[in-house]
Structure 1
Amino acid sequence: MTDTDTRGRSGRNPRKQARKEGIALGRIFGVPVILAYSWFIIAAFTVIAYGPVLQANNPLLGIGAYLVAFAYAVLLLISVLVHELAHALTARIFGWPSEKIVLNLWGGHTQFESFTASPGRSVLVAMAGPAANFVLAAAGWLLLTGADLRGVAGILANIFVWANLLIGLFNVLPGLPLDGGRLVESAVWKLTGSQEKGTVAAGWGGRIIVIALVLWFVALPLLSGGRPDVSLMLITALVGSFLWMGAGASIVQARLRGRLPLVEAGALAEPALGFPESATVAELLALVPDPSTGAVPAIVLYGPDGRPAGVVDGAAVATVPAGAAATTALTAVSYALGPGAYVPAWSKGQELLQYLAQLDGVEYAVVDRDGTVTGLLRQSVVLAALKGRRPGPGKRMFGQSR
């Protein structure tokens, strides 16, 4: 399964972030590999669930059956790693930068930095993962048939073949977040010219797969009067919840992407005027003596270098006595913007979102091509536009109070 993200460009410390996610295993072909702490949950489940089965089928193993079960978990980990490496290396052919591979409770995912996809390339990158598992299954089968493997070696080789075959087959199912979902996405994308419509269709494909799994492994045995296997029901519940959440997230992300063209700094910003930091409250009130007569623009302060540095707080201005207005600097009734928190009025879409992700704070000055302040953009307004909602009503004098 593949995952696209641009967090690698956000300025965060990658080593510190990796430690939070899990154990850094190093780099393979230049791609960082991280073993998430959640992997140990699935490893423990594998040992607990399959250890007794192996011991019952192979009494001579004794307690060693649990070690063999753990080796099975490690083989699964290796199979998933090869699967994800196939994604990463195929993507590299098209110039898509891989940020990292994360191996976790659900298997794993390859996280990319920003790139420009196409239906054909998306399919090739997605199908590279299952293809790698089919190759591993074939190699294991050749080893089983060509060598006289007995005991633990035979057990593990047999498990390796079936595990890779199942991983490959499962991942080609036609629904996101599985790799096969990219086939559905690309087909609809090619027909309609809209990647967003393709992603929504593939997301619903993922939800249909979940319903089919629950019907087959849980509902049908119950309706037929049988007793479903508890372990199988638990696995179905875990896999089903993962797929349902992933499919839902894909649908939400697609709808957000569809609204990206509406996210433009100049269009979403409220009107604003720029004032030098040296200005006083009296100078401001001379411009807008009676703010109660109607909406007034936000006031953005700029420093000696001409760059936006703060926003005047209307509530603080109202507390300044009339006699002190001429001697009270606007900096005394303002709050600071984050470093570099200003954007060009023409910035929009993914470019705008990536830029805002690198900035601190929740408000950003909007400037024209001459560097003149024309507006104040609030993070809440951007999020509302992405969700298809209208921003909340009410603007306070000279900007909102914090």
Structure 2
Amino acid sequence: MEITKDIQYVGVNDHQIDLFEGQYVVENGMAYNSYMIMDEKIAVCDTVDAHFTEKWLGNINAVLDGKKPDYLIVHHMEPDHSASIDAFIKTFPETKIVSSAKAFVMMKQFFGIDYPDNQLVVKEGDTLSLGTHELTFVTAPMVHWPEVIVSYDSKDKVLFSADAFGKFGALDVEEDWACEARRYYIGIVGKYGVQVQTLLKKAANLDIQIICPLHGPVLTENLGYYLDLYNIWSSYGVESEGVVIAYASIYGHTKQAAEELAALLEKKGCPEVTITDLARDDMAEAVEDAFRYGKLVLAAPTYNGDVFPFMKEFINHLTERNFQNRTIGLIENGTWAPTAARVMTKMLEGCKNLTFTDTTVKILSSLNDDSRKALETLADELI
């Protein structure tokens, strides 16, 4: 696939995978992107997952047409992008590996060798001339590993963005970009908003016409749309107005309260209401929605003097990703000693800029007139 006259796509699609990073459901597979810049010097940008090494090398050789690469640029050392480095160097032993100093430390850890005869260490602001193409390297630590670099080709105005602007899904499947890019970003990069903001500020000084990420499609049009979304996500801003109701339920009474609240909100004109069963629905989707919308209701029963485990897991996912800048409503259930609301509040106390509603709905076993009135009051507050 041709990106520009001199830049070719040589990556692969993975439809064998079921869980990305061992936890994220990827029904439409994954793409492991790799690119080749053909100039007086030839550079290959990143490798692919170990299961696809031979296919990837075949893609490279088809473009090389008997030539040899001069450089292998390693933007990121996560194995889905770096696992084929060793095979590449054994195939093309004279190639220079261009990467950050931290990346070579990781190569030693992964492969038992840091390729001392092939090393070309780059840092912030360093350049590499391929002929008419000149690459400038920009450090991007913790987006989302510490060794990450991105590079900018001033000739074709291309940003090779590592994992930034990536998404779930193979390239031979049509699907909405924002949904799977959001789930990818929040799940994998979400903790590192400050670092992403730093990278965005650096990128603002570049004339970028094309973004080549390590996952997902090459972005060539309406780049402001993608940049704006990344700015919202990484600043923990509100992307969409609405309310997310995340519930866990044992015998159905807490579920009933969540559904009645959703109906009240819709009746009162809430622009969007999303409801999710934390025990049955995709946890990553629930986390994504909590970061997308401005208001979140947590509904859970007391369990072992604590809170129901699926709710505890959900809140842990939020807090470890620096959840902030949201309005929170609480619904607790308990038959003899309700503690869920207190526990959930305690779990969230380290989050910045959370506003809790005045009303906390307390259910004693099942909904009654008093708890239904409290649901109505909570709905009014959320609206």
TM-score > 0.5, shorter chain as reference: no
More helix as a share of residues: 1
TM-score of the aligned structures, taking structure 2 as reference length: 0.31
TM-score of the aligned structures, taking structure 1 as reference length: 0.30
More strand as a share of residues: 2
The structure having more radius of gyration, on CA atoms, is 1
